[in-house]
Amino acid sequence: MVNSIRKCKDDQGELLEDFSQVKSHTLSYFQKLLNQDRSTAPVHHIEISKTLTVEEQQQLSERFSDEDVKQVVLNSPKLKSPGPDGFPVEFYQSCWSIVGKDLCAAVHHFFSTGRLLKQVGETFITLIPKDECADSLDQFRPISLCNFVYKVISKLIANKLHRVLDRIISPFQMAFIKG
Protein backbone atom coordinates (compact mmCIF):
# COMPACT_ATOMS: atom_id res chain seq x y z
CA MET A 1 0.00 0.00 0.00
CA VAL A 2 1.73 3.14 -1.22
CA ASN A 3 0.62 6.46 0.24
CA SER A 4 -1.16 4.96 3.21
CA ILE A 5 -1.13 5.51 6.95
CA ARG A 6 0.38 2.30 8.29
CA LYS A 7 0.53 3.40 11.92
CA CYS A 8 -0.56 6.29 14.08
CA LYS A 9 -0.93 7.31 17.70
CA ASP A 10 -4.34 7.29 19.32
CA ASP A 11 -5.71 10.02 21.62
CA GLN A 12 -3.73 8.61 24.57
CA GLY A 13 -0.47 8.56 22.58
CA GLU A 14 -0.49 4.78 22.17
CA LEU A 15 0.93 3.56 18.85
CA LEU A 16 -1.57 1.69 16.66
CA GLU A 17 -0.01 -0.59 14.03
CA ASP A 18 -2.80 -3.05 13.25
CA PHE A 19 -4.61 -2.03 10.04
CA SER A 20 -8.09 -2.42 11.54
CA GLN A 21 -7.15 -0.32 14.59
CA VAL A 22 -5.61 2.43 12.44
CA LYS A 23 -8.67 2.40 10.18
CA SER A 24 -11.12 2.51 13.09
CA HIS A 25 -9.24 5.32 14.86
CA THR A 26 -8.92 7.35 11.66
CA LEU A 27 -12.61 7.00 10.88
CA SER A 28 -13.62 7.93 14.43
CA TYR A 29 -11.22 10.91 14.58
CA PHE A 30 -12.41 12.50 11.34
CA GLN A 31 -16.09 11.76 11.98
CA LYS A 32 -15.79 13.69 15.25
CA LEU A 33 -13.83 16.47 13.57
CA LEU A 34 -16.13 16.87 10.58
CA ASN A 35 -19.39 16.45 12.51
CA GLN A 36 -18.66 18.99 15.24
CA ASP A 37 -21.65 21.12 16.15
CA ARG A 38 -20.75 24.59 15.02
CA SER A 39 -24.12 26.09 16.00
CA THR A 40 -22.67 27.31 19.31
CA ALA A 41 -20.38 29.78 17.56
CA PRO A 42 -21.31 33.39 18.32
CA VAL A 43 -23.31 35.18 15.66
CA HIS A 44 -21.75 38.41 14.51
CA HIS A 45 -24.13 40.99 13.15
CA ILE A 46 -22.63 42.69 10.16
CA GLU A 47 -23.87 45.97 8.87
CA ILE A 48 -23.99 45.85 5.10
CA SER A 49 -23.65 49.36 3.81
CA LYS A 50 -23.09 48.59 0.14
CA THR A 51 -25.66 46.81 -1.98
CA LEU A 52 -25.86 45.71 -5.57
CA THR A 53 -27.54 47.83 -8.18
CA VAL A 54 -30.54 46.40 -10.01
CA GLU A 55 -28.33 45.98 -13.09
CA GLU A 56 -25.70 44.05 -11.08
CA GLN A 57 -28.41 41.85 -9.58
CA GLN A 58 -29.69 41.09 -13.08
CA GLN A 59 -26.17 40.29 -14.32
CA LEU A 60 -25.63 37.89 -11.42
CA SER A 61 -28.99 36.24 -12.15
CA GLU A 62 -28.31 35.67 -15.86
CA ARG A 63 -28.13 32.08 -17.04
CA PHE A 64 -24.68 30.73 -17.87
CA SER A 65 -24.18 29.95 -21.53
CA ASP A 66 -22.65 26.77 -22.90
CA GLU A 67 -19.73 28.95 -23.98
CA ASP A 68 -19.23 30.11 -20.35
CA VAL A 69 -19.05 26.45 -19.28
CA LYS A 70 -16.67 25.59 -22.12
CA GLN A 71 -14.32 28.47 -21.24
CA VAL A 72 -14.14 27.35 -17.61
CA VAL A 73 -13.27 23.82 -18.76
CA LEU A 74 -10.65 24.92 -21.28
CA ASN A 75 -9.03 27.35 -18.81
CA SER A 76 -8.95 24.94 -15.87
CA PRO A 77 -5.49 24.12 -14.54
CA LYS A 78 -4.07 20.79 -15.63
CA LEU A 79 -2.32 18.02 -13.71
CA LYS A 80 -4.72 18.10 -10.76
CA SER A 81 -5.97 15.04 -8.91
CA PRO A 82 -9.33 13.78 -10.15
CA GLY A 83 -12.33 13.41 -7.87
CA PRO A 84 -14.47 10.30 -7.36
CA ASP A 85 -15.50 10.26 -11.03
CA GLY A 86 -11.86 9.48 -11.89
CA PHE A 87 -11.74 11.93 -14.79
CA PRO A 88 -9.04 14.63 -14.72
CA VAL A 89 -9.56 18.01 -16.37
CA GLU A 90 -7.51 16.89 -19.37
CA PHE A 91 -10.22 14.34 -20.22
CA TYR A 92 -12.91 17.03 -20.40
CA GLN A 93 -10.63 19.35 -22.37
CA SER A 94 -9.58 16.78 -24.97
CA CYS A 95 -13.04 15.19 -25.28
CA TRP A 96 -15.10 18.39 -25.19
CA SER A 97 -16.77 17.56 -28.51
CA ILE A 98 -18.03 14.31 -26.97
CA VAL A 99 -18.82 15.28 -23.36
CA GLY A 100 -19.48 19.01 -23.67
CA LYS A 101 -23.26 18.80 -24.14
CA ASP A 102 -23.68 16.46 -21.18
CA LEU A 103 -21.46 18.58 -18.96
CA CYS A 104 -23.40 21.72 -19.91
CA ALA A 105 -26.68 19.89 -19.22
CA ALA A 106 -25.46 18.90 -15.73
CA VAL A 107 -24.42 22.49 -15.00
CA HIS A 108 -27.73 23.92 -16.28
CA HIS A 109 -29.63 21.29 -14.25
CA PHE A 110 -27.96 22.57 -11.09
CA PHE A 111 -28.69 26.22 -11.82
CA SER A 112 -32.31 25.58 -12.79
CA THR A 113 -33.17 23.28 -9.86
CA GLY A 114 -30.67 24.30 -7.18
CA ARG A 115 -29.84 20.62 -6.73
CA LEU A 116 -26.69 18.72 -7.55
CA LEU A 117 -26.92 15.31 -9.09
CA LYS A 118 -25.91 12.88 -6.34
CA GLN A 119 -22.83 11.76 -8.25
CA VAL A 120 -21.64 15.36 -8.69
CA GLY A 121 -21.72 16.03 -4.96
CA GLU A 122 -19.56 13.04 -4.05
CA THR A 123 -16.11 13.96 -2.78
CA PHE A 124 -13.00 12.03 -1.77
CA ILE A 125 -11.19 13.25 1.30
CA THR A 126 -7.48 12.52 1.31
CA LEU A 127 -5.03 13.14 4.12
CA ILE A 128 -1.83 15.07 3.47
CA PRO A 129 0.88 14.82 6.15
CA LYS A 130 1.92 18.22 7.51
CA ASP A 131 5.47 16.88 7.89
CA GLU A 132 7.42 13.73 7.00
CA CYS A 133 7.18 12.22 10.48
CA ALA A 134 3.43 12.63 11.00
CA ASP A 135 2.38 9.99 13.51
CA SER A 136 -0.91 11.31 14.89
CA LEU A 137 -4.01 12.27 12.96
CA ASP A 138 -3.88 15.94 13.98
CA GLN A 139 -0.67 16.09 11.93
CA PHE A 140 -2.57 15.37 8.71
CA ARG A 141 -4.48 17.94 6.68
CA PRO A 142 -7.67 16.66 5.03
CA ILE A 143 -8.30 17.94 1.51
CA SER A 144 -11.34 17.36 -0.65
CA LEU A 145 -11.05 15.95 -4.15
CA CYS A 146 -14.27 17.08 -5.82
CA ASN A 147 -15.81 15.89 -9.06
CA PHE A 148 -14.94 18.09 -12.01
CA VAL A 149 -18.57 19.11 -12.62
CA TYR A 150 -18.65 20.50 -9.07
CA LYS A 151 -15.44 22.44 -9.76
CA VAL A 152 -16.94 23.89 -12.96
CA ILE A 153 -20.06 25.06 -11.11
CA SER A 154 -17.93 26.63 -8.36
CA LYS A 155 -15.71 28.42 -10.88
CA LEU A 156 -18.70 29.78 -12.81
CA ILE A 157 -20.13 31.25 -9.61
CA ALA A 158 -16.75 32.66 -8.55
CA ASN A 159 -16.19 34.28 -11.95
CA LYS A 160 -19.59 35.94 -11.83
CA LEU A 161 -19.17 37.18 -8.26
CA HIS A 162 -15.69 38.50 -9.06
CA ARG A 163 -17.33 41.22 -11.17
CA VAL A 164 -18.91 42.88 -8.12
CA LEU A 165 -16.80 41.87 -5.12
CA ASP A 166 -14.33 44.74 -5.33
CA ARG A 167 -17.22 47.19 -5.17
CA ILE A 168 -19.05 45.69 -2.19
CA ILE A 169 -16.16 44.36 -0.07
CA SER A 170 -13.90 46.70 1.85
CA PRO A 171 -10.30 46.87 0.58
CA PHE A 172 -9.28 46.08 4.18
CA GLN A 173 -11.09 42.73 4.22
CA MET A 174 -8.68 39.82 3.90
CA ALA A 175 -11.07 36.90 3.29
CA PHE A 176 -12.05 35.83 -0.23
CA ILE A 177 -8.91 37.29 -1.79
CA LYS A 178 -7.47 35.29 -4.67
CA GLY A 179 -4.09 33.75 -4.00
Q: Is the Cβ–Cβ distance between 111 and 157 less than 8 Å?
A: no
- What is the pLDDT at residue 52? 86
**Could you tell me which residue, 96 or 32, shows the higher pLDDT?**
96
Question: What is the 3-state composition of the chain as percent helix, strand, coil, each rounded to the nearest 5?
Answer: 45, 10, 40
Mean per-residue pLDDT of the chain: 87
Reported as a single tens digit per residue, the pLDDT across 104-156 is: 999 999 999 999 888 888 888 888 999 888 889 999 998 989 999 999 999 99
Any bridge partners for residue 141, and if so which?
128
Which of these, 144, 4, 128, 1, lies nearest to 82 by C-alpha position?
144
